[in-house]
């Protein structure tokens, strides 16, 4: 039996969103133990032209909510990018998880051929649902989740691959 669009999207998004929330919790604990202002972590970036940790987490959240909404043929909700603390970022992730969990298989399954038009680089780009999911949404979602993880590892937070995979 082939995998459905819901099976290919919702569980993967939820696994990583939950992992990212736990990773942020570990970062908060680590900062307290080492007496580091968490704002230092939130503003850190791996390279000058890359997003900060805060922005990486916001983008992961955006891809999570936008992906399922677009596959279901809905307009994604807009979240203000105002988070200033790890707790606020975790709350954003929790809101995103609740939104993603609200999509039942019937809302997403069968969206393989649905046309999805989004702005990419300021220009409209149209995808078929399956191409959007596997060639755009998931790669971007994982890229930014990996960048958030890498920033925290680089800053000395004790994380392992199992944390990223939500196995710990």
Handedness of CA 130, 131, 135, 137 (dihedral sign): negative
DSSP one-letter code for 62: H
- pTM of the predicted structure, to 2 decimals: 0.96
Looking up tokens 């939500």 gives: 166
Contacts of 34 (CB under 8 A, 6+ apart): 156
pLDDT in tens, the chain (168 residues): 689 999 999 999 999 999 999 999 999 999 999 999 999 999 999 999 999 999 999 999 999 999 999 999 999 999 999 999 999 999 999 999 999 999 999 999 999 999 999 999 999 999 999 999 999 999 999 999 999 999 999 999 999 999 999 997
Q: For residue 126, what pLDDT is reported?
A: 98
Paired sense of beta strands 115-120 and 123-128, if any:
antiparallel
CATH (domain of 31): 1.20.120.450
DSSP 90-138: HHHHHHHHHHHHT--HHHHTT-TT-EEEEEETTEEEEEEHHHHIIIIIH
Nearest-angstrom CA–CA distance, 151 and 42? 9
Number of domains in the chain: 1
**What domain range is 124 assigned to?**
5-164
Nearest-angstrom CA–CA distance, 15 and 109? 19
Among the listed residues 87, 92, 37, the one whose alpha carbon sits nearest the alpha carbon of residue 65: 92
Looking up tokens 């971007």 gives: 140
**Tokens standing for 23?**
């990773």
DSSP one-letter code for 85: S
DSSP one-letter code for 155: T
């Amino acid at each position: 039996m082939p995998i459905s669009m819901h099976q290919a999207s919702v569980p993967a998004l939820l696994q990583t969103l939950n992992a990212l929330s736990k990773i942020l919790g570990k970062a908060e604990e680590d900062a307290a133990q080492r007496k580091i202002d968490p704002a230092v972590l939130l503003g850190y970036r791996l390279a000058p032209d890359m997003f900060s940790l805060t922005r990486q987490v916001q983008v992961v959240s955006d891809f999570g909510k936008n992906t399922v909404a677009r596959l279901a043929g809905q307009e994604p909700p807009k979240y203000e990018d105002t988070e200033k603390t790890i707790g606020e970022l975790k709350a954003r992730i929790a809101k995103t998880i609740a939104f993603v969990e609200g999509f039942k298989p019937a809302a997403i399954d069968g969206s393989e051929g649905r046309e999805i038009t989004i702005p990419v680089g300021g220009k409209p780009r149209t995808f078929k649902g399956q191409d959007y999911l596997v060639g755009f949404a998931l790669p971007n979602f994982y890229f930014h989740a990996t960048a958030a993880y890498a920033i925290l590892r680089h800053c000395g937070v004790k994380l392992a691959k199992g944390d990223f995979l939500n196995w710990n």
